Structure formats: structure tokens, C-alpha cells
Structure 1
């Protein structure tokens, strides 16, 4: 009878559209309380909930709380988790109250970028480990604060640059590091996506029922509600995000930094930025950017085109490691090596390699984080890696905002050389009563 009740319960969960298999539900029941990893989600509308689902696909992880300022999102997500796991997470609308929970090991931060720093630092101070979506934060200085907080409080912090867990990118890095492509001259990166144009202009509207919009704005400037600045499209405005550059740019630039001999901050950064498509678009950020990062090991060349969908090698986005012996082109679907031709030997200069059919690696990145919670080992994308990738996105955005073709960054001093206007954008001004975290 017990087996039948268990089967019926599991069947009803799956019939309800949930995402935990009967075998996983059975495995979860066998985990002792001492082995459980108790997580909470802060910011549950989109990517944050996707990351929570990957956490809950691990039998030792339990969701004990969800926090959001949109009651509609909060109701939906609590219901989904309860139906999937049989346990109802506690409900919070203020992350500070959530962080007071004693029976909590880690938090997932899936909020807009302008909230990452405040929540992550508070979580570290409360003794919680942190999985924070990329980019690490919405400014250079906030990334520094988060890096310091993780170190000061001995917390595990995984930044959501999940390509570090992807087979295609891991193998590509191995080809580069092993010398298979010869000396790397440059790394070409491109990202062409329609959504980079931003939404068409819309009028301000009343705040949707159930939304605490003032709390959603938090430290960002006070503004009337506009749907273009809310769910799904907030990243096109400097108050909350950095556009296509800090969304896809961080992921792809991270893969260039990852193959450096000693991953480092950029020094000289050359930027071209323009809004080419101006037809009824509502955005602060740019649809067209080209950025050059002359690094010690090679040149990084980043090419971004919002509103376009095609690109080199018939890929809308990708990375090309250009070596003396061949070029390796990779994106999340796989990679291929295009060898240079040796006219004298009448042969390819390196062996052709190809991988197809790879998929997203969020699940592996999450599994790495959970393992590091238990072992206290450094995760695959620790705070410093998140900081470096964010720097490579924020510096061009700052240059574009102030109209500077070149900026020189001194990473030791954490400031730009000879440009006070750029230095003013290293840290945001928080709206009262919110203040920058103090460590």
C-alpha cells in the first residue's frame, strides 16, 4: 500500500508538468538531514528559477525559501516547487528577512544585475554561500566588494558563467593550451542577437498589481513604471544592466580570458560603440560595438551587433581562437578546427578536430557549486574570474557612455588613468535608504 501511495504521488507530480523524475524523488527521500544542502532563491522570474531547477535535480538539495518582490511570480514559483518536491518553500518578499534563516546553506541570486552586490555581500555576512548570475555585478566597484566579501567571510561564491563546465569549451581550452593550434595570435568573438536592439518605445503604465516596484528599483534611481524597464528587458538600461555587452559579452569574453597564461584584467581598451538602429527603440545601451583588448598573450577582438542574427562561420555567436597552425571555432553547440595549409609539405598544419551536438552546461556548473559547498574547494568560476570577465564588459560600456575611444585601466589601483569621467562610473550612486555595502 505504501508503495502504491508513493507511486500515485509521483505520478501526480509528473502529470502536473513537474520536472523531477520518480527515481530522483525516491533518491531525495533517502538523503539524511545531515547531508541536505538547503538553498533559497532570491529573484525567481526567469534565469534564477532555471538555476533553482538544476539545484533541485540534485537529490541532496532542498529549496527552503523563495523571495521575490512580484507576488505573481512568487505564487507561481512556490507552487511549482511544492508540486515538484512535495515540500513548500517559505515565502519572502524581503531578502534581508530571508537571510536571517538559520536553516539555510546557500542562496541563488537571480535578480537584475543592480541588486547582485547588495544581496551577495549580505549573504556572505550572514554565513551563506552564493550562486550569483552573471555578470557578477552592474559595476566594476561592486564586483570588487563581492570578491572581498567572499574572501573575508570564507564563503563559496560561484558566478554563473556556466560555459566553464561545457564540454565544447573545456576541450577547446585544452587544444589552445596544448599548442595544437600553435601560437595564438588573436581571439575573435562575435555576438549577434535580435534582442540587442531593445524593445519598441512604450508609454509608462501603472505598476502591475502585486509588484513592489519601489523595492524592485532598490538602489537604482526612482522612475515611473514602464514595462520596458521590467521583466525581460531591464538589461537595456544602465540603471539595472549593461545590455548585450554584459549579457552575452561576459560569457564569451570569459572564454578568451580563460586561455590566457595568467588571466588578467585588461589595460588598454579601444572601443567603438553606436546605436545604428534608432527606429522607435527604448534603451540606454548600444546595439553595435567593436572592442579591442590588447593582452599580453594575444589580441581579443569583440564584435557585437544587436538586431542581426548571422555571423562568421554561419554562427550568430562564437569564439575563434586564431593560431599559427589553425583556427578553432566554438560555441555552445560544439567546435571545429580549421587548419592552415602548408604549401611546401602539401598538408594541413594541424589535425582537424570536430565536436557537434553539445548542449547547455548549467546543470554541471550548479553541480560543481553544490560539491564545493560540501568540500569547501574553489568553484569553477570563483569571484576573481567573475570580476575579470565583468571588467572586460564594463570598461567598454563605460567608454561608450562617455564617448571615449580609449581607456587605460590600472587594476592595482582599481582606477582609470587620466580619465576622471570614467572613474565616476566605477561605482554607482545608491538611492536612499540603500547604501553601498561596508566590509
Structure 2
């Protein structure tokens, strides 16, 4: 996701300052000069899904080359290595990410592994002197996000979080309109993800680890369990051991813009209600239906998600709606429009997207590395941590079944059950690094 704004609350100074992107966005490569630059040598860790997409976005940049790939699934590693070879790109393949981080021909890394690995790998990468492009959500717990921010600062690394909508012009234009005040007083912001293509996950029996898969390496700090295909590639999102369901998968994107539009930081309280209403007997653990309310002083932010259906608010399967006294602005990945209250303001017809967010996000990462200027990043680690913590609060409210209150001074909820979920449980000898 994306966008601009400044320092509103002292506790969120790093977050809001990091969001300060200009109001106009050039095309993906118009900011690249013809002057030859030293190549940035990139290695990618976790290359089955978004890690592969992120790497290819970077490889479109003339100043980037790929030198290394890493994946615990040798089948994926071999396939991606061969795909690059067909394009004339020769890389080294690694099964252990620490071997890749030790390589002297790697300057920066892409981390596209499951959520439960982001913290350890990002901190290790920073410690190894690498700049990092890490997929969202930044971490799998509040404590992980806090440690990751400390590590990026301690080791002085450029860290871009993969919320690429922050690099798209139409999202920023929509937020600028919200900030103009033309909608009148905004009482409610709705953010949602209704994902019809995410169907029920049928229960499958445990089975043997597929040939070529380092299952122990895949589990890492997660609890050791028998191998089950439902918990592996992509579907890991629906299990608490590894991720946070749609709340953190899509919530970090949509809620990010809800907060940017309202210049908001931490909520006063959070409550959530939902469950496995559509598919009560399938294999997933995370809720397929959820409503979460984040309370602020003079407005609320409401999150909704639903697996298996597309009929979201305003006829859109995802988006953010700022509901004001004079009108409502609705924005999603396709564009934005303003729906007026009758007689109170003029409508703004649909404004379509005009650029490629992922491509722009990659260019922005490269530029920040080349200029050694973290302030250029569209989604620096402080911003990625802020919205991930916000989304994790929603999951904690759901999992405890309570209305919870965050104590920012003490960095806890002052509720024993909720506080236990601040830190993800680590197993197999792993621990969040002391930073």
C-alpha cells in the first residue's frame, strides 16, 4: 500500500514521517538515469510466491542482478533456477538461508517466506550487512515487529516492506482528497477483503514429507507437527502457527490506508467478532468471517473479511471507504471515486489506477539503497511494523473474545490472556534475537 503524511503524534513520529511520499509519482523507470551505477546483487529467500514476484520486479531495474536463490523446497529452487537460466541469469542455489546471507556476492535480499520466518531472517540479514525487501505482514507477532525495527536501526540497513500500494499514485490521490476536508467530518472508515477465490480447505490426512523438502527448515520456530499439505505452500496463511489469516494477509494493505487517511495511530480499544461461519468443518484455523472495530476518539475503523464470497461493501471485493457527512470516498486497487450525500457535494467520477505499484515499489527500494537514504522509502520498516501491529491487535481481540485496550507506555494490554499473544510462541530451540 502507500502514502504520504507527517508527524502527528510523538509516539508515531517514525511511522508518519516515513509515509512522506510526494503527491505525484513518475512512471516506474522515469527516475532512473542513464548514468551507469554499480550493480546491486540480490539474493531471494523463499521464491514460490510473492518472493518470486518481488525478485522479478527488482530484476526489471537495470541496476539490479540476481546472484542467489534460497528455498527449503528443492523442487521450487530447481524450477526457479532453471527459469532464470533460460533468461541468461546464472545463480547459486541454497537450501539454508544463512549460507546465502554469508555469500559475498549478495548485497540485498528479498524475503518471501511464510510469515513466521520473517523476523529471524530479516534480523539475520541486517546483521549480515544486507539491505532487505521483506514481504508483508512484517512479523507474525507484535514482539517480532518491535525487534525487527530495532534491528534495522541498530545495523543501519535499508528495509522496505512489501506493501506496494504505498507506491501507487491513485491511492495517494485518494488520501489527499480525504485530507482536503471535502468529505466533511468522517465518522467511520470501513476496510474490507471479501475474497471469493479463497475457498474452503478440505481436511487432508498427515503424510510423508515431499521429496526434496527440508521440513525441519520450513518449520523453524513453529511447533513441530507431522507434515500436512494444508499447512504448506500458500495455505499456511490459515494456521496460527505461521500466520494470521486474512486479518494480516489483506488487513495490512487496506487498514494501512484507513489509518493514513485519518492520520491515525494506535486505537483506544479493539473488539472483534467472527469465526468459521462459512466452512465450520474445513481444515483452516483462522476465521473465514470477521468483523473488527478499532475505536479512536471521534471515529471508528471497521475491518471486515470473508472467504469464499466477493459481495463486499459498495460492490467491491476489497477496499477502503471513508464515510463523511458530505460524502463517501471509496478506493481499492482499481481506482477511487466519491459518492456524495444528496445535495451536499459534487460526485467525483471513478479515477482509474495509472501505474504498477509493485514495479514502483521495487524502483523505490533500489533508489533508497543507491542513495543510502532510508527516508526515501515508501514503506520503511517503521510503517510496516505499525500497520502489522495494528492488524495483530485485531487478531488478539478475536482470539481472546475480549474488548482490549493497548497501553502504549507499557507496550502491553494489561490483560493476561491478551498479553500472552503479544509474542509468538517459539519452538525447536529458536528465540526472537536480543537486539
Query: TM-score when scaled to structure 1?
Result: 0.88
Q: Summarize the alignment of residues 190-229 of structure 1 with structure 2, pairs less than 5 Å apart.
A: 190-194=192-196, 196=198, 198-229=200-231
What's 2:240 paired with? 238
Please give the secondary structure, in 1, of the residue aligned with 2:262. Answer: coil
Deviations 1:163-192 (A, max 9, x none): 111222111011011223222222111211
Within the candidate set 381, 384, 387, 2:382 is matched to 384
Please give the secondary structure, in 1, of the residue aligned with 2:193. Answer: strand
1:59 to 2:96 alignment: no
Larger RCO (CA within 8 A; separation ≥ 6)? 2
Deviations 1:352-401 (A, max 9, x none): 24212556511111111111111222211111211121122111211222
Q: Summarize the alignment of residues 19-418 of structure 1 with structure 2, pairs less than 5 Å apart.
A: 35-84=38-87, 86-194=88-196, 196=198, 198-261=200-263, 263-296=264-297, 298-342=299-343, 348-356=344-352, 358=354, 360-377=356-373, 378=375, 379-404=377-402, 406-417=403-414
Moved more, 269-278 or 58-67: 269-278
Give the direction of change, closer, same or farther, for the CA distance of 1:218–1:397 in structure 2 (3 Å limit): same
Deviations 1:385-430 (A, max 9, x none): 11121122111211222222x011122321112x111111111222
Please give the secondary structure, in 1, of the residue aligned with 2:62. Answer: coil
Please give the secondary structure, in 2, of the residue aligned with 1:134. Answer: coil
Residue pair 1:266, 1:391 contacting (<8 A) in 2 also: no
Residue pair 1:196, 1:287 contacting (<8 A) in 2 also: no
Query: 2:283 and 2:398 mapped to 1: Cα distance?
Result: 17
What's 1:13 paired with? none
Ranges of 4+ aligned residues in structure 1 off by more than 4 Å: 195-198, 357-360
Moved more, 356-365 or 378-387: 356-365
Unmatched 5+ stretches in structure 2: 1-28
Please give the secondary structure, in 2, of the residue aligned with 1:282. Answer: coil
Query: 2:197 and 2:215 mapped to 1: Cα distance?
Result: 24
Unmatched 5+ stretches in structure 1: 1-23, 343-347
Residue pair 1:196, 1:244 contacting (<8 A) in 2 also: no
Tell me how far 1:115 sits from its aligned partner. 0.1
Please give the secondary structure, in 2, of the residue aligned with 1:205. Answer: coil
Give the direction of change, closer, same or farther, for the CA distance of 1:359–1:226 in structure 2 (3 Å limit): farther
For the pair shown, which has the larger CA radius of gyration, 1 or 2?
1
Give the direction of change, closer, same or farther, for the CA distance of 1:279–1:409 in structure 2 (3 Å limit): closer
RMSD value over aligned CA atoms? 2.0
Kindly tell me the number of residue pairs found equivalent between the two proteins.
403
